[in-house]
Amino acid sequence: MTNEIKEYIDALHSDFVHTSGFYNDANVCNEISSTKRIEMDERNEQEKLMTAIDIANRAHYRQFDKCGRPYILHPLHLMSQLLFDTELATIAVLHDVAEDSDLYTLEGLSGVFNSRVMSALNLLTHKDGDDYLGRYIPKICTNYDAIRVKRKDLKYNMDITRIKVVTDKDLERIDKYHLAFMMLGAAKCDFKGNN
């Protein structure tokens, strides 16, 4: 927490103690101070999400998907499904940034985002030489956040209604994605069973 935020919280705490004779109890004041800290943390998470959206927009600028649509719509679509958890939404909007852009690296992003976000992004970034079903998907299976985002990604990518003309190559890709989706589903169940 920065000194500026701490000073702000302390000032609020102090004002509350001095202006309220009835609620002068230290426990009540600590509870209010804690509530302000939570609000600040939530605001910081929202600011990080806005930064992530900006980064994704820059990274995918002038990129188009297989159907000719602006690529940024894909990570925004995934993000919109995960807004109940700001950090998970951040992972979703950034999931293709390091892989599909020369503007940002995982190392550079690690200076901006926390370890939860970066752990998932590291696994979601498909590295050259990693066999898709043999190495890439099994690595994702080790992180619950990465599993959740990748399943949303695969579900979107398996939607053949987005494709004007479905080719044999599309069907092969969808078959591979379906197998990956099932592998990730089993891993997700394992996580739920252990908690």
Per the structure block, which two tokens stand in for 10? 């302390």
User: Inter-axis angle of helices 115-124 and 86-94, to 10 degrees?
Assistant: 30
Where residue 195 falls among pLDDT bands split at 50, 70, 90?
A: low
Where residue 129 falls among pLDDT bands split at 50, 70, 90?
A: very high
The CA distances from residue 139 to 15, 69, 144, 179, 195, in Å, are: 51, 30, 11, 15, 20
pLDDT tens for 132-181 read 999 999 999 999 999 999 999 999 999 988 888 999 999 999 999 999 99
Mean pLDDT of the 66-94 span:
96
Model pLDDT, residue 190:
87
Strand runs (DSSP E) across the chain, as ranges? none
Q: 152 near 78, Cβ under 8 Å?
A: yes
Model pLDDT, residue 163:
85
Q: 23 near 29, Cβ under 8 Å?
A: yes
Whether 12 shows a pLDDT value over 50: the answer reads: no
d(CA 121, CA 113): 10
Whether 96 shows a pLDDT value over 70: the answer reads: yes
Q: What's the predicted TM-score (pTM) here?
A: 0.77
CATH of domain 3-14+26-194: 1.10.3210.10
H or E element that contains 52: helix 26-59
pLDDT tens for 20-72 read 443 344 443 444 445 555 565 677 889 999 999 999 999 999 999 888 899 99
